């Protein structure tokens, strides 16, 4: 089995591919706790040491799952990332409110540490940024709370998620100020795949490179769009992809045409479309770490093999040309979610 090479998020050494754990608790239909724990163990045994969760995934259930996993393995071999800053509406699971206030961040960290059954969090992210909402605060105020948690050794590294380029710079410089130059941002997490290329165009990747910040690519398979085995009729009724624009019938038909073109390249490389898509993300920069999410061991084992695929410059260009941003049908979230998350693409 592939033993992964390492990459750096700031000065944090992690496996070159991580594992997104969200679907083990919610959003993609029912999950088996036993299967999820088995998948986590298989990932660790394969050399993946980087596990991504958040306090809102399953309203805490996902952190509890990761906590059980941590408890039964050597903590020093596990890099766990979690997030705060989003509040779920208990009466409507589709609604979110951003809360970036210092008190909320401090409370969330305390609760996450308890659920994760650990004394420290390796990477703690601000999940979303909203500086104008009713429960928001200036980004610099949010970073002051993160700096305090870092100083208290509750968190070892700091990240932000779905930030604009100027916000990345502001957050990084604020942290350096509050920690006397000892800690800035280690990681920025955003959606990035062949079908979600905004960070290439809006300066986010350039800003990360400027300051030596690692980039964590979530949904590198575009929520299974970048595979050749997605069938809407196979999705459970509670799968949130039914509500996403890219999975609506007409948009899905257009997006699947892209998959057919990618499939021709995958045949030549003797790999699956999913492996090809992951290899593309891995090839986009040494500071980029994709975290494909799955609750199933068989998909994990498939994703792992992407590390063995080497793409030439011509192949990378051909893949990028097949899926430019302007031909992707549908936004990646609903209009309301795009507004709530202050996303422009």
Q: What is the b/e burial string over 328-345, where b = at least 16 CB atoms within 10 angstroms of the residue's CB?
A: bbbbbbeeebeebbbbee
How many Cα atoms occupy the beta-carbon half-sphere of 302 within 13 Å?
Answer: 22
Indicate if 57 belongs to the active site.
Answer: yes
Non-local (6+) Cβ contacts of 24 within 8 A are 31, 36, 39, 62, 65, 295
The CATH number of the domain holding residue 303 is 3.20.20.100
pLDDT digits 0-9 by tens, 158-170: 999 999 999 999 9
DSSP β-bridge partners for residue 160: 126, 188
Q: Is the pLDDT assigned to residue 1 strictly greater than 60?
A: no
Q: Is 339 within a domain?
A: no
Q: Is 21 within a domain?
A: yes
State how far the Cα of 27 lies from the Cα of 43, in Å rounded to an integer. Answer: 21
Listed residue (305, 218, 222, 216) closest to 266, CA to CA: 305
Mean residue pLDDT of the chain comes to 91
Q: Is 166 within a domain?
A: yes
What pLDDT sits at residue 306? Answer: 95
Q: Is 169 within a domain?
A: yes
Q: Is 196 within a domain?
A: yes
Active-site residue (options: 28, 57, 178, 218): 57
What pLDDT sits at residue 343? Answer: 66
Q: Is 319 within a domain?
A: no
Q: Is 251 within a domain?
A: no
What pLDDT sits at residue 60? Answer: 94
pLDDT digits 0-9 by tens, 24-75: 987 776 788 999 999 999 999 999 999 999 999 999 999 999 999 999 999 9
Domain that holds residue 39: 6-222+284-309
| The model's pTM | 0.92
Q: Is 125 within a domain?
A: yes
pLDDT mean over 103-115? 98
Number of domains forming the structure of the chain: 1
């Amino acid at each position: 089995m592939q033993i992964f090479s390492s990459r750096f998020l700031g000065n944090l050494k992690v496996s070159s591919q991580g594992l997104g754990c969200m679907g083990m608790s919610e959003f993609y239909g029912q999950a088996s706790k036993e299967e999820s724990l088995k998948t986590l163990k298989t990932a660790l045994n394969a050399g993946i040491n980087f596990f991504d969760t958040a306090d809102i995934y399953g309203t805490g259930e996902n952190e509890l799952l990761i906590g059980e996993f941590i408890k039964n393995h050597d903590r020093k071999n596990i890099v766990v990332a979690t997030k705060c800053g989003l509040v779920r509406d208990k009466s409507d699971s589709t609604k979110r409110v951003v809360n970036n206030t210092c008190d909320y961040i401090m409370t969330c960290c305390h609760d996450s540490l308890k659920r994760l059954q650990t004394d420290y969090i390796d990477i703690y992210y601000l999940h979303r940024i909203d500086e104008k909402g009713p429960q928001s605060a200036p980004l610099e105020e949010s970073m002051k709370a993160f700096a305090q948690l870092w100083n208290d050794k509750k968190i070892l590294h700091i990240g932000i998620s779905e930030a604009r380029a100027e916000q990345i710079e502001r957050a990084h410089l604020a942290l350096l100020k509050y920690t006397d130059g000892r800690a800035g941002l280690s990681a920025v997490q955003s959606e990035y795949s062949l079908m979600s290329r905004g960070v290439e165009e809006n300066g986010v990747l350039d800003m990360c490179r400027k300051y030596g910040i690692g980039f964590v690519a979530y949904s590198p398979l575009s929520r299974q769009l970048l595979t050749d085995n997605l069938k809407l009729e196979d999705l459970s009724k509670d799968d949130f992809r039914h509500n996403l624009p890219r999975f609506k019938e007409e948009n899905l038909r257009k997006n699947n045409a892209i998959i057919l073109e990618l499939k021709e390249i995958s045949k030549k490389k003797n790999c699956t479309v999913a492996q090809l898509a992951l290899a593309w993300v891995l090839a986009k920069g040494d500071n980029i770490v994709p975290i494909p999410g799955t609750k199933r061991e068989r998909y994990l084992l498939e994703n792992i093999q992407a590390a063995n695929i080497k793409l030439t410059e011509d192949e990378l260009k051909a893949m990028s040309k097949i899926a430019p941003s302007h031909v992707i049908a549908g936004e990646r979230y609903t209009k309301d979610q795009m507004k709530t998350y202050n996303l422009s693409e």
